[in-house]
Copies of this chain bind each other. A is one copy, B any other.
Amino acid sequence: MQAIQTQKDDEIDLLKAFQTVRAHTMELCEPLETEDYIPQPTVDVSPPKWNIAHTTWFFEEMILKKFAPAYQEFNSQFGFLFNSYYNSIGTRTRRDNRGDLSRPTVAEVFAYRRFVDEKMCELLAGNLSEELRDLIVLGLNHEQQHQELFLTDFKYTLSVNPLYPVYKKDFALVERGEELSGGTIEITGGIHEIGFEGEGFCFDNELSRHRVYLQDFTIAKNLVTNAEYLEFIEDGGYTDFRFWHSEGFDWVNQNEIAAPLYWQKIGGEQFNFTLDGLRKLKLDAPVCHVSFYEASAFAEWKKMRLPTEFEWEAAADKFDWGLRWEWTNSAYLPYPHFSKAAGAIGEYNGKFMVNQMVLRGASVATPPNHSRRTYRNFFHAPLRWQFTGIRLAK
């Protein structure tokens, strides 16, 4: 696949990388009860069972069926059940139907996983073409994306349960704050190079590297905190149309939005649902689970703005990032010379390049070794179940 480049010199490590990534998914599953693998409370959220089966399906469908000569599929119906959105491969379960399936059981899905792992390890022990290596690396990055979704989706599922269950007692990490140094960074305008370059993996949407002309701009060192966001709320931010995009204000009113997702007022105190259960809101932590509309309205209220994705990338060496995905004011569009791969892999990114906004950085739920300065994440403007925050620019 032309758009993805792997490191040529570390061929020995691909088996180890495979085992490490696959093992991390299993660690994420440890705190779950069997029942937890099933529900899908909203269409954007996938059940854990689906996430762990789908990442396995990717290796079976894209790699084993094509590159492992004698491979016999584990179950001929799983291709239909665990395809996500690849039209090239055939029909698939309706996306909003994933939570309706009690079978195969969780035990069967883990057996499927072990079966595919075994066959993959056999394949990885042999000689691998460059095309195959690229696909395996893509499969691992795909699994890492689903590791983050595993956490964000399951957090959402727990949040709709009036019992407010805890995912993991020692998992406060993902909601942690940051050391606030404060201040801003000044960047001088001119031509900047944007997009991925060098060795290692990147997604096709990070290419090609190209020149962009930027104006002078200022960008904040820190993310906006819960304390600052509370000020916005208390100043009537959600009821003053002047701060909002027209469709953002409609969204606020139709959905009766008055705070970030997971905030809950109980007896006059502000709580926040976390993977460690319902806890008091931590004022100095960066605000989280806000939509693009909210991020943008907050910036307007502050008489600032969100950075573009190009500004963000040009400045990202100069501030800390990785706690929250950061909404930019850039729409998700192709870079110059962007081209889709042939076949199913070509459906990975390109077909989503309309009506979504770019997020940059990474979040506390992003798995290790899965972030870089040129990474382009993207979501629809109203979505909030990712760990999304706000950095201001001017």
Measured CB to CB, the residues of A under 8 A from B are 33-41, 49, 77, 80-81, 85, 87-88, 93, 97, 99-106, 157, 160-163, 165, 191, 210-213, 215, 241-242, 244-249, 292-293, 296, 305, 329-331, 333-334, 336-337, 346, 351-355, 357, 381
Assess the B337–A333 pair: CB atoms within 8 A.
no
| Cross-chain pairs A/B with CB under 8 angstroms, 10 sampled | A33-B105, A34-B105, A35-B35, A36-B102, A93-B162, A100-B160, A101-B161, A191-B191, A248-B354, A293-B354
Assess the B247–A105 pair: CB atoms within 8 A.
no
Known contacts A245-B351, A333-B331, A355-B355; decide if A35 and B33 are in contact (CB<8 Å). Answer: no
**In the docked arrangement, what's the CA distance between A296 and B354, Å?**
10
A88: chain B residues at CB < 8 Å are 242
Which of B40, B103, B293, B355 is close to A161, meaning CB atoms less than 8 Å apart? B103
A357: chain B residues at CB < 8 Å are 354
Known contacts A77-B163, A246-B352; decide if A102 and B331 are in contact (CB<8 Å). Answer: no
Assess the B99–A99 pair: CB atoms within 8 A.
yes
A331: chain B residues at CB < 8 Å are 331, 333
- Quick one: copies of this chain in the complex? 4
A161: chain B residues at CB < 8 Å are 100-103
Q: Is the interface of A mostly helix, strand, loop or mixed?
A: mixed
Known contacts A331-B331, A331-B333; decide if A102 and B292 are in contact (CB<8 Å). Answer: no
**In the docked arrangement, what's the CA distance between A314 and B46, Å?**
45
Known contacts A34-B35, A35-B37, A247-B354; decide if A191 and B163 are in contact (CB<8 Å). Answer: no
Assess the B330–A246 pair: CB atoms within 8 A.
no
**In the docked arrangement, what's the CA distance between A322 and B85, Å?**
39
Known contacts A77-B162, A215-B337, A241-B87; decide if A103 and B247 are in contact (CB<8 Å). Answer: no
**In the docked arrangement, what's the CA distance between A331 and B328, Å?**
13
Shortest distance between the CB of A95 and any CB in chain B (Å) = 11
Assess the A211–B213 pair: CB atoms within 8 A.
yes
Q: Which of A34, A330, A346, A353 lies at the interface centre, i.e. has the most chain B CB atoms within 10 A of its CB?
A: A34
A293: chain B residues at CB < 8 Å are 354
Assess the B35–A105 pair: CB atoms within 8 A.
yes
Chain B: CB-nearest residue to A342: B242
Assess the B246–A351 pair: CB atoms within 8 A.
yes
Assess the B101–A39 pair: CB atoms within 8 A.
yes
Which of B163, B210, B329, B354 is close to A103, meaning CB atoms less than 8 Å apart? B163
Assess the B35–A106 pair: CB atoms within 8 A.
yes
**In the docked arrangement, what's the CA distance between A357 and B356, Å?**
12
Shortest distance between the CB of A71 and any CB in chain B (Å) = 22
The 10 A-B residue pairs with the shortest CB-CB distance, nearest first, are A331-B331, A41-B100, A213-B213, A35-B102, A38-B38, A87-B241, A246-B351, A36-B102, A34-B34, A215-B336
A296: chain B residues at CB < 8 Å are 354
Chain B: CB-nearest residue to A292: B354
Shortest distance between the CB of A152 and any CB in chain B (Å) = 16
Assess the A213–B241 pair: CB atoms within 8 A.
no
